[in-house]
Amino acid sequence: MATLRDQLPDHASEADDRQLGIDRVGIRGLEYPIVVWDRANEVQHTVARVAMYVTLPPHFKGTHMSRFVEVLEARRGEVTLGTIEPFLQHLQERLESDEVHLELEFPYFVEKRAPVSGVPSLMSYDCAFVASRSGDDMDFVLRVTVPVKSLCPCSKAISDYGAHNQRSLVTVEVRADDMVWIEQVVEVVETCASAPLYALLKREDEKHVTEQAYDNPRFVEDLVRDVVIGMRALDGVSWLRVSADNQESIHNHAAFAEITWRG
């Protein structure tokens, strides 16, 4: 017996004669709970902004947008780093596409203790899993943005007292054959900066961080070079893109630098 769905027109399944394939078509901006591996606590629950795309051959008029969410719902609670590949396989099968893409952007929280007082607080880091599967070949990139403090070496050298400093946003994208923890990326970046940032500082901590930055001046060029050196020392790292965006405190612009490295 035919259902109502069988009786309704399905324009997305119709043929198209314009001979133009579409590189990516799908959905984006969907918020959804996911689970991320946490080095200290095994797992961490967070909420991701999800984007899912497929490649559409030229003879298809459209894709079925509802199927993206159907796959997400079918695997509810399973969207973790360890289950991304079977998730992509499911997308390939359900959307009948050889090439599929998944992007999960999410906040990740790390407990940090202030350097002198030791008071704990949670720092958030903007992260993303960017994955794709073409046939049987999978690609995965981890992206982590780490806010840090940088102090200008030139300003320190020419000033009788003080030196201008700013918050820097260092973004690391990494491909690796071995597991790279988000915490490892954070640690590498913070080690290379003038000083790390904290959500909570007491007066004695502020003094320490301010003086630490003054003793460790860094140009934006220093940041990206040192982060690449630190990251490529991790086991299995095969590709990196590192960028630093210094939100200048004495200019109406940002200073920027980027390096792409392949092992």
Alpha helices in the chain (DSSP H): 4-7, 65-74, 84-95, 153-158, 182-192, 203-215, 220-231
Please give the average per-residue pLDDT across 6-10, as a whole number. 55
Residue 20 CB contacts under 8 Å (≥ 6 apart), including other chains? 58
Q: What is the mean pLDDT of residues 108-127?
A: 97
What is the C-alpha separation between 146 and 124, in angstroms, rounded?
9
CA angle 75, 77, 83 (to 5 degrees): 65
Q: Which domain holds residue 191?
A: 18-262
User: Is residue 3 situated within a structural domain?
Assistant: no
User: What pLDDT was estimated at residue 50?
Assistant: 96
Only one residue has tokens 């400093």, namely 165
Look at residue 80 in the predicted model and tell me its pLDDT.
Answer: 77
Distances (CA, A) of 112 to 115, 117, 136, 186: 9, 12, 40, 11
Q: In this structure, is residue 7 part of a structural domain?
A: no
Instruction: Report whether 133 contacts 99 (CB < 8 A).
Output: yes
Considering the domain boundaries, does residue 252 fall inside one?
yes
pLDDT at residue 5, rounded to an integer: 59
pLDDT above 80 (res 260)? yes
20 falls in which pLDDT band (50, 70, 90)?
confident
Mean pLDDT confidence for 136-141:
96
Domain presence at residue 60 = yes
pLDDT, tens digit, for every residue of 193-206? Answer: 999 999 999 999 99
Asked if the structure places residue 9 within a domain, the reply is no
Instruction: Tally the domains of the chain.
Output: 1
Judged against a pLDDT cut of 60, whether residue 248 lies above it is answered with yes
Tokens of 24: 């990516």
Taking all residues of the chain, what is their mean pLDDT, rounded to a whole number? Answer: 92
What pLDDT digit, counting tens, does each position of 64-115 carry?
A: 899 999 999 998 877 777 889 999 999 999 998 999 999 999 999 999 999 9
How many angstroms separate the CA atoms of 210 and 170, rounded? 19
CA-based radius of gyration for the chain: 23
- C-alpha span between 150 and 155 (Å, rounded): 12
Tokens found for residue 122: 């949670």
With contact defined as beta carbons under 8 Å apart, do 163 and 215 qualify? no
Residue 225: which CATH number? 3.10.270.10
A 10 A CB-CB count for 45 gives 10
Which whole number is the average pLDDT over 198-227?
97
Q: Is residue 96 part of a domain?
A: yes
Task: Determine how many CB atoms are found less than 10 A away from the CB of residue 261.
Answer: 16
Cα dihedral value 176, 179, 183, 186, nearest 10 = -10
Check whether 56 has a pLDDT greater than 70: yes
Tokens of 44: 């961490």
Do the domain assignments include residue 257? Answer: yes
pTM: 0.91
Looking at the predicted structure, is the pLDDT value of residue 7 above 70? no
Give Cβ neighbours of residue 19 (< 8 Å, ≥ 6 apart): 58
Q: Work out whether strand 22-38 and strand 165-176 pair parallel, antiparallel, or are unpaired.
A: unpaired
